[in-house]
Amino acid sequence: MKVKFTYYIFVLVFLMPSFAFAGSVMLEDFKVDTTDQLVKLCTAAPDDPFFNHAQNFCHGYAQGAYDYYEAAHAGAKGPKMVCFSEPAPSRNEAINLFIEWAKANPQYGQKTPVNTLFRFLAQKWPCN
| Res 8 pLDDT > 60 | no
Q: What is the pTM (predicted TM-score) of this model?
A: 0.76
Q: What is the pLDDT of residues 24-51, one digit of tens each?
A: 899 999 999 999 999 999 999 999 999 9
Side chain identity at 21, as an amino acid letter? F
CA dist list (Å): 55 to 25, 84, 89, 120: 11, 23, 18, 20
Q: What is the pLDDT of residues 80-121, one digit of tens each?
A: 889 998 999 999 999 999 999 999 999 999 999 999 999 999
pLDDT band, very low/low/confident/very high, at 73 (cuts 50, 70, 90): confident
**Are the C-beta atoms of 23 and 50 separated by less than 8 Å?**
yes
